[in-house]
């Protein structure tokens, strides 16, 4: 980021996540400080073709309001750049199953004595909670990811 972004006047950011929302759907979540100008720019870039940019700040997103986000590195290392950011959150399993996997992983962290079979089952449950190993899910991820990337390039061009 320091090397490539330090010279740019504009910076487009796409942060990819999985685990929240309907399986295969890539929710477009505003990934920036709570700035109405940047939010409007994100809407211009990514709210099209029926897709909308949501925000953790106004409650329209599946995401809770978070702190310590990675996009803050853009402000630190590229202060000269106009930053426009998006988190693309792909749904996997129902929320109950994702939370169960996370609880299992935390349990495993606190119980290093767990047997290998139990350890493998919990690790598999975690993987399944954040990655759906089916061709349709993978195709949705690729299709939506390419669309968002193309829209970012178009947005950067102005």
- Which tens digit of pLDDT belongs to each residue from 84-110? 999 999 999 999 999 999 999 999 999
| Neighbour tally for 17: CB within 10 Å | 16
Res. 63: pLDDT tops 80: no
> Could you read off the pLDDT of 14-49 as tens digits, one per residue?
999 999 999 999 999 999 989 999 999 999 999 977
Q: Please report, rounded to a whole number, the percentage of residues in the chain having pLDDT higher than 90.
A: 75
Res. 51: pLDDT tops 80: no
Tell me how far apart the alpha carbons of residues 27 and 18 are, in angstroms, rounded to a whole number: 10
Res. 142: pLDDT tops 90: yes
Q: 66-74, long-range: CB within 8 Å, 24+ apart, which pairs?
A: 69/31, 70/15, 71/13, 71/15, 71/31, 71/32, 73/1, 74/1, 74/5, 74/11, 74/13
Closest residue by Cα to residue 17 from 106, 148, 125: 148
* pTM of the entire predicted model: 0.88
């Amino acid at each position: 980021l320091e090397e490539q972004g330090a010279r740019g006047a504009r910076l487009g950011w796409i942060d990819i996540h999985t685990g929240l929302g309907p399986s295969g759907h890539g929710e477009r979540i505003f990934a920036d400080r709570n700035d109405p100008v940047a939010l409007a720019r994100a809407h211009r870039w990514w709210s099209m073709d029926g897709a909308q940019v949501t925000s953790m700040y106004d409650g329209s997103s599946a995401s809770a309001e978070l702190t310590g986000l990675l996009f803050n590195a853009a402000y630190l290392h590229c202060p000269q750049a106009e930053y426009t950011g998006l988190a693309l959150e792909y749904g996997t399993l129902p929320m109950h199953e994702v939370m169960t996997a996370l609880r299992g992983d935390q349990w495993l962290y606190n119980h290093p004595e767990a047997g290998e079979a139990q350890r493998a089952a919990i690790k598999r449950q975690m993987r399944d909670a954040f990655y759906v190993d089916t061709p349709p899910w993978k195709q949705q991820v690729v299709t939506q990811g390419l669309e968002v990337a193309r829209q970012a390039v178009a947005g950067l061009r102005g």
